[in-house]
Homo-oligomer: A and B are copies of this chain.
Amino acid sequence: MNLRKQNIGAYLFILIVLFSCSDKEAGLKYDSMGEIMVRIAELEIEPEFLEEYLNILKEESEASVRLEPGVICIYPMYQRENPTEIRLLEIYANKEAYESHLQTPHFKHYKTTTLPMVKTLRLVDMKAIDPESMPMLFAKMSP
């Protein structure tokens, strides 16, 4: 019974990871090849606004991945020990996709409404290590 429950949970989680962090159409709208943008955003939120902030963030990240082909992944997390410490793994098809993201109504809404809630913000540009070794893992995904 536990095993069945666990399987359902595991499948659900995997669906979520797949659907939140992937997009076959990524970049189709963008003319220049560009380079994938990977970033970790580090935010500290004013404790009294945390719940409100999380609600607005959820809406914004969901809308971005759903509406923007160039937003490949926004994976928001908070630190268990310090829930006001937010981390977002953000992956954009290229710089243009990111620039376009900044102009969307949902991002602008997020930015203006959360401005007084954000104590600190640090945007850290990252580079993925060794993405090319991964296709061999395909077999794991097959039914």
Contact = CB atoms under 8 A, between A and B. Distances in A.
Contact of A80 (B21, B57, B127, B141): B127
Contacts of A15: 134-135, 138
Count the copies.
2
A58 to B, nearest CB: 4
Interface residues of A, number: 74
Nearest to A67: B140
Contacts of A79: 124-126
B2 A140 contact: no
A135 B16 contact: yes
Nearest to A35: B9
A25 B138 CA distance: 12
A contacts with B: majority SS? mixed
A133 B58 contact: yes
Interface of A: 2-3, 5-7, 9-11, 13-28, 30-34, 36, 38, 40, 54, 57-58, 61-62, 65-66, 72-73, 75-81, 83, 86-87, 89, 91, 93-94, 124-138, 140-143
